[in-house]
């Protein structure tokens, strides 16, 4: 029998909460360091932060729900957990690059920053989907039989969300724009909609 505990240790749980908390705090700091030039900029900045906040909170809620029942019993699960925390930690930085006014004049840098952000979010969604998949394996009996269908739907929607983020790295979604904004940025709202649907069901 493995010596690794079957459930996340308090140290891992504390580290996870710390990283999520820091990620949200960094997002707030970015608002303070970027002084608005016009009143409408304040609303624009708050809306941008709200997008990042909604994403991180959605990931955190799903993550804590999964980890309350998923045993940390193998290196694969632990490695994915560490990778996910890394992706969470860098999300505010990559998001800040995408909304930084100075980058709007350098479309090459903005293109690169948006690709990295899309890959970061795709990774987060995919890891959550893999964790959720572990809960749906009947032989492991981690959740009641009556909940298997629900969690399979959640797993599928997370994989779809990951696909939405990943597909936006294609050049087509950068060159094609709507009102001067690359289509890539609009598609990022789809996973937020899917997350809302998951909570309703």
Count Cα neighbours of 37 within 13 Å in the Cβ-side half-sphere.
Answer: 1
Confidence check: pLDDT of 103 > 70: no
Q: Using CA atoms, how far apart are residues 109 and 100, in angstroms rounded to an integer? A: 11
pLDDT at residue 104, rounded to an integer:
61
Instruction: Look at 8-17, 116-125, 177-186 and tell me which has the smallest mean pLDDT.
Output: 8-17
pLDDT at residue 110, rounded to an integer:
87
Q: Using CA atoms, how far apart are residues 144 and 1, in angstroms rounded to an integer? A: 24
Q: Using CA atoms, how far apart are residues 184 and 171, in angstroms rounded to an integer? A: 9
Structure tokens at 133: 């998949």
Mean pLDDT of 15-36: 73
Give the residue, 45 or 201, on which the prediction is more confident.
45
> 33 pLDDT band (50/70/90 cuts)?
low
Confidence check: pLDDT of 5 > 50: no
Mean pLDDT of the chain: 81
List, for residues 47-88, the tens digit of each pLDDT value: 878 888 888 888 888 888 888 887 766 788 888 888 999 999
- DSSP for the chain, please give it: --SS-SS--HHHHHHHHHHHHHHHHHHHHHHHHS--SSHHHHHHHHHHHHHHHHHHHHHHHHHHHHHTT----SHHHHHHHHHHHHHHHHHHHHHHHHH-GGGGG-HHHHHHHHHHHHHHHHHHHHHHHHHHHHHH-GGG--S-GGGHHHHHHHHHHHHHHHHHHHHTTSTHHHHSEETTEEHHHHHTHHHHHHHHHHHH-
Closest CA to 48 of 197, 159, 181, 199: 181
What is the pTM assigned to this prediction? 0.82
Taking a C-beta distance cutoff of 8 angstroms, is the pair 118, 184 a contact? yes
List, for residues 132-188, the tens digit of each pLDDT value: 998 888 777 888 888 888 889 989 999 999 999 999 999 999 998 888 788 998 898
């Amino acid at each position: 029998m493995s010596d690794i505990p079957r459930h996340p240790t308090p140290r891992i749980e504390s580290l996870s909460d710390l990283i999520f908390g820091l990620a949200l705090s960094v997002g707030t700091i970015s608002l303070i360091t970027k002084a608005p030039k016009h009143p409408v900029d304040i609303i624009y900045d708050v809306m941008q932060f709200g997008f990042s906040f909604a994403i991180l909170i959605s990931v955190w809620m799903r993550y804590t729900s999964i980890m309350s029942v998923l045993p940390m019993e193998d290196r694969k699960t632990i490695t994915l957990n560490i990778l996910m925390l890394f992706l969470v930690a860098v999300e505010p930085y990559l998001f800040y690059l995408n909304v930084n006014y100075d980058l709007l004049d350098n479309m090459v840098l903005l293109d690169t920053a948006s690709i990295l952000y899309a890959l970061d979010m795709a990774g987060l969604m995919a890891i959550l989907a893999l964790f959720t998949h572990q809960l749906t394996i009947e032989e492991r009996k981690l959740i009641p039989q009556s909940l298997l269908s629900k969690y399979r739907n959640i797993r599928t929607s997370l994989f779809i969300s990951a696909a939405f983020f990943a597909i936006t790295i294609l050049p087509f979604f950068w060159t094609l724009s709507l009102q001067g904004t690359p289509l890539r940025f609009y598609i990022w709202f789809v996973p937020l909609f899917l997350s809302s649907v998951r909570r309703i069901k």
